[in-house]
Amino acid sequence: MARFLMRSVISTLVTMLIVSALVFTLLEVSGRDVTVQILGVFATPEQKESLRKQLGLDQPGFVRYIDWLVGNDWRLRDELGNVQTVFNEISQEPEWYVLLDDGRFVRHEVCSRVEDIDSGFCQPGEMLYLVRNEDASFFRENAGDVWTTDPETGESVFWGVDIGNRAAKWVEGGGDTAFVSTQTGVQELTGAAVQWIPLRKGLLRGDAGVSLKTTRPVSKTLPIRIRNSAILAGLAFIVVMPLALFLGILTGINEGSFFDRFTSVTSLALTATPEFVTGVLLILVVGIYWSNNWLPGLVEAGFLPDWALESFKVPTTTLADSPNAIFEKPKELILPVLTLTAVELGYIVRMTRASMVEVMAAPYIRTAIIKGMPFRRVVFRHAVRNALLAPITIIMLHINYLVGGLVVVEVIFGFQGLGKFIFDHSIFGDPNAVEAAAMVTVLIAIVTRLLGDLAYTFLNPRIRYA
């Protein structure tokens, strides 16, 4: 067993590595210009180029993948000094600082603020320390002459950490031009950094990076989406499983009856209808016709009491108008759950039925019946247990497939879950977010498969994992 687990863990990690490299490569070759997504289509090439540099996208893809995987602070130590993350209690996000020898955490900025220049605090172009206070605020301090000479170009340069959590390379007197109006008139300032490398710890060290689409750490936005999807899928699971197994067993026992045929045809039709059709039709029929037309009619005709008018209405979409909307308005989950149910139900019913039919035809069942054992007991003691073997593994494998269906359902209902996260960020071309989400889905796929294997072992004592 231990060896089996060991092997599973290693195989899982290898799988995740392969997938992450694959995702990265695909996003890389996609030629999708993420700067267009951020700046809008009318940005000038210069603006796009500037942003590209600020995002560190001018680095080779391979380097960025390694950065993503294992971080880059360790390889930038030479330039930056002792660079570390400090957790900001207010924003609840980690921030990068350089730890100076005197124990202070600082970031860097070029003197360019009007009030600093006007007050004579610093001269334009000088480096400033942003020294961190205990409460995560900071004060400015003149850093003095920190410039070093780049042996290759002979320029006077400085590597520091800017306020955007990036390693930035400043060139003394270099950079782009900006206009700033001061008391003494308008000044042209230079001083923007010339190269940026977003600092990160890397996924292996627990840092999934910052989403380009939201500019927030993925680890802040993703968990809530996973939670939402888990609730949605969990609810669907709770509805589907008992119903499907029950129907599957019942039809399996009564093979060939009218009930069997009816259920089989219905479940086949449900499976064969894509979730996007089911969802759209449910919105139309339940959300609109039922809630807006039929329900008021029924109430008016006296078939339903007045309070039913509001209570029986089914919302057509899910609104994330507060972080916990999913708990505040559970009614909004009705249609998404129904859609997932419709798609999954048929599949599992068919699996269970097929398995049940096979088991019921097995010699030992026939023997048991012939021996005069009560039919009920035969079914529940012997047949069901064996018949569930196949469906349970298949159901577990199917959870992976469900993630695909989840995307469509979440897109249709505007549900803020993992599926929509994947869809939106893939369309945007946001590597960190897509990678993180992909890792989650890979994990789901592998863990459910392992669970399927284990369940199989548990239900079938003849199998042992060496």
Q: How far is the CB of 14 from another protein (least distance, A)?
A: 6
43 binds another protein per the rule CB under 8 A: yes
Q: Residue 387: which of 348, 360, 355 has the closest Cα? A: 355
427 binds another protein per the rule CB under 8 A: yes
Task: Round to whole Å and give the CA distance between 385 and 459.
Answer: 7
CB 51 within 8 A of CB 39: yes
- Of 424, 455, 456, 457, which one interacts with another protein (CB under 8 A)? 424
One character per residue 201-230, x = contact with another protein (rule: CB under 8 A): ------------xxxx----x---------
Q: Coil, strand or helix: which one is 391?
A: helix
391 binds another protein per the rule CB under 8 A: no
232 binds another protein per the rule CB under 8 A: no
Amino acid at 232: L
- Of 36, 66, 230, 309, which one interacts with another protein (CB under 8 A)? 36
Query: Residue count at the site for another protein (CB under 8 A)?
Result: 95
179 binds another protein per the rule CB under 8 A: yes
With contacts defined by CB under 8 A, name the span among 59-67, 80-88, 118-126, 408-416 that binds another protein.
408-416
313 binds another protein per the rule CB under 8 A: yes
- Of 67, 251, 445, 452, which one interacts with another protein (CB under 8 A)? 445
**In the range 276-305, which residues lie near another protein by CB under 8 A?**
276-277, 280-281, 283-284, 287-288, 291-292
With contacts defined by CB under 8 A, name the span among 29-37, 122-130, 232-240, 378-386 that binds another protein.
29-37
In sequence order, what DSSP letters do the residues of 127-153 get, joined into one string?
Answer: EEEEEEPTTS-EEEEE--S--EE-TTT
Task: Round to whole Å and give the CA distance between 184 and 441.
Answer: 58
CB 205 within 8 A of CB 70: yes
> Exposed/middle/buried for 182, CB within 10 Å: 0-12, 13-18, 19+?
middle
Q: How far is the CB of 198 from another protein (least distance, A)?
A: 16
How do beta strands 105-110 and 127-132 pair? Answer: antiparallel
Task: Round to whole Å and give the CA distance between 219 and 207.
Answer: 8
- Residue 23: CA atoms inside 13 Å, Cβ hemisphere, count? 26
Instruction: Give the distance, in angstroms, between the CA of residue 235 and the centroid of all CA atoms in the same chain.
Output: 19
- How many CB atoms neighbour CB 204 within 10 A? 11
Question: Which CB atom, from 102 or from 466, has the smaller least distance to another protein?
Answer: 466
Task: Round to whole Å and give the CA distance between 406 and 156.
Answer: 54
Q: How far is the CB of 110 from another protein (least distance, A)?
A: 11
Q: Residue 214: which of 436, 21, 22, 415 has the closest Cα? A: 436
Q: How far is the CB of 18 from another protein (least distance, A)?
A: 4
Q: How far is the CB of 111 from another protein (least distance, A)?
A: 15
Question: Which CB atom, from 99 or from 268, has the smaller least distance to another protein?
Answer: 268
255 binds another protein per the rule CB under 8 A: no
With contacts defined by CB under 8 A, name the span among 119-127, 201-209, 319-327, 374-382 that binds another protein.
319-327
Question: Which CB atom, from 4 or from 276, has the smaller least distance to another protein?
Answer: 276
One character per residue 326-355, x = contact with another protein (rule: CB under 8 A): ------x-----------------------
- Of 85, 88, 254, 271, which one interacts with another protein (CB under 8 A)? 271
| Structural element, H or E, at residue 100 | none
- Residue 152: CA atoms inside 13 Å, Cβ hemisphere, count? 1
